[in-house]
Chain A
Amino acid sequence: MNEPRLVEVRRNQNDVIARALREQFRSAGIFVVSLVSSPGSGKTTFLEKTLTQLQPRYRVAALVGDLATENDAIRLARSKAPVKQITTGTLCHLEAAMVQNALQDWDLCQLDFLFIENVGNLVCPSSYDLGENLRLVLMSVTEGEDKPLKYPTIFNSADVAVVTKNELATAVEFDWEAARKSIESVRPGMQIFRLSAKTGEGMQDYLDFLAQHLAEQRAPAHK
């Protein structure tokens, strides 16, 4: 019997695919946003409004991860944007390989924005880079101000926070300052948008923010 010896490898399979995706997105000149949140926080309504409101000016599409049904894809299709469902079966998150497979027959050069709606879950998606340019974490005012402290990893891994269902803030006595503090604690300096996808309040600032990021993403290529 030979003595065991140690060989060095450095590998995380998902990261390898995520890097390839990011490069693919960059060369196609598209800006990719992934959405993470708990179930029921309003991701699909928020995304439907985002797609509808960006469409007059931009070419947009969405991938939607869900465990079983295709209900979200059907709802999002009302925006007339191309939408593809990734049904994960029993899996509680999306992985980079699933995104890669789903995009195989899409011509990304025909798009400006691609949105990836992850499975509603604030734990598992934090472990998987999907190659996105921006990870957006969504929380609704009905979930309580301390959500970021309960799920610090996902908030820390995200780039921007959206607090939605603001039309209900008064009814649920949402403490905006406490929410801002808990986000700031787990993710210092994070940009926060407070809005209502339902009434449209606050949506414009967020849409302008996306437009600015798309412009920045494309700027170096035109130098």
Chain B
Amino acid sequence: MHELSIAMGIVDVALDEAKQRGVQVTAVHLRLGPLSGVVKDALLFSYEVACQDTPLQGSRLIVEDVPVVIFCAQCKENRTLESVQCFACPQCGAPSMNILQGKELEVFALEIEEEEVTP
């Protein structure tokens, strides 16, 4: 269970961006692939914990699941894998380690609000 460490890293990135831009972050968008080794539910739970007592408290973590896609050299096609236990083309069965996506663990966007100037 290392999702809390991951969540704290995500919060650090968002806080850093918020500070640099002088904005309030309301949601963090994350791309997550099965090969990142991170469990989504555990991460969502950990995110709430990691946000506590920071300016991100109450913000949302929006996770976009990225499937594993390999390139099959036999079919000359990109194929989506159903299981990470078998790195082979689901159509022709040829093994492939040509992984095009599925390792993602990346903050790719933030929803922000400009900080209102208090008179």
**Which residues of A are interface residues toward B (Cβ below 8 A)?**
1-14, 91-93, 95, 123-124, 126-127, 149, 152-154, 156-157, 184-189
18 residue pairs bridging A and B, Cβ less than 8 Å apart = A4-B26, A6-B110, A7-B17, A7-B110, A9-B109, A13-B9, A14-B9, A124-B1, A124-B37, A127-B38, A153-B36, A153-B37, A156-B87, A185-B87, A186-B85, A187-B87, A187-B97, A188-B88
- A91–B1 alpha-carbon span in the complex (Å): 9
The answer to whether B37 and A127 have CB atoms under 8 Å apart is yes
Q: For chain B, what secondary structure do more than half of its interface residues adopt (helix, strand, loop), or is it mixed?
A: mixed
Binary A-proximity of B100-119 (CB < 8 A = 1, otherwise 0): 00000111111111101000
The answer to whether B85 and A185 have CB atoms under 8 Å apart is yes
- A12–B112 alpha-carbon span in the complex (Å): 19
The answer to whether A7 and B88 have CB atoms under 8 Å apart is no
The answer to whether B107 and A2 have CB atoms under 8 Å apart is no
Residues of A within 8 A of B17 (CB): 7, 9, 11
Given known contacts A7-B21, A123-B2, A127-B105, A154 and B88 CB-to-CB distance under 8 angstroms: no
The smallest C-beta distance from B13 to any residue of chain A, in angstroms, reads 5
Q: Indicate whether B44 reaches chain A with its CB closer than 8 angstroms.
A: no
Q: For chain A, what secondary structure do more than half of its interface residues adopt (helix, strand, loop), or is it mixed?
A: mixed
Residues of B within 8 A of A149 (CB): 85
Partner of A92, one of B1, B27, B96, B113: B1
Residues of A within 8 A of B105 (CB): 12, 127
Residues of B within 8 A of A3 (CB): 113
Q: Indicate whether B5 reaches chain A with its CB closer than 8 angstroms.
A: yes
- A9–B13 alpha-carbon span in the complex (Å): 9
- A6–B34 alpha-carbon span in the complex (Å): 25
The smallest C-beta distance from A80 to any residue of chain B, in angstroms, reads 34
Smallest CB-CB A-B distances: 9 pairs: A188-B95, A126-B37, A124-B2, A127-B37, A4-B111, A153-B37, A152-B84, A11-B13, A2-B114
Given known contacts A124-B37, A157-B35, A8 and B108 CB-to-CB distance under 8 angstroms: yes
- A4–B13 alpha-carbon span in the complex (Å): 19
- A9–B17 alpha-carbon span in the complex (Å): 8
The answer to whether A93 and B84 have CB atoms under 8 Å apart is no
The smallest C-beta distance from B38 to any residue of chain A, in angstroms, reads 6
- A11–B110 alpha-carbon span in the complex (Å): 11
- A28–B100 alpha-carbon span in the complex (Å): 31
Q: Indicate whether B49 reaches chain A with its CB closer than 8 angstroms.
A: no
- Which has the most chain A C-beta neighbours within 10 Å: B6, B17, B27, B29? B6
Q: Indicate whether B48 reaches chain A with its CB closer than 8 angstroms.
A: no
Q: Indicate whether B86 reaches chain A with its CB closer than 8 angstroms.
A: yes
Closest to B12 in A: A13
Closest to B36 in A: A127
Query: Which residues of chain B from 70 to 108 have a CB within 8 Å of any chain A CB?
Result: 84-88, 95-97, 105-108
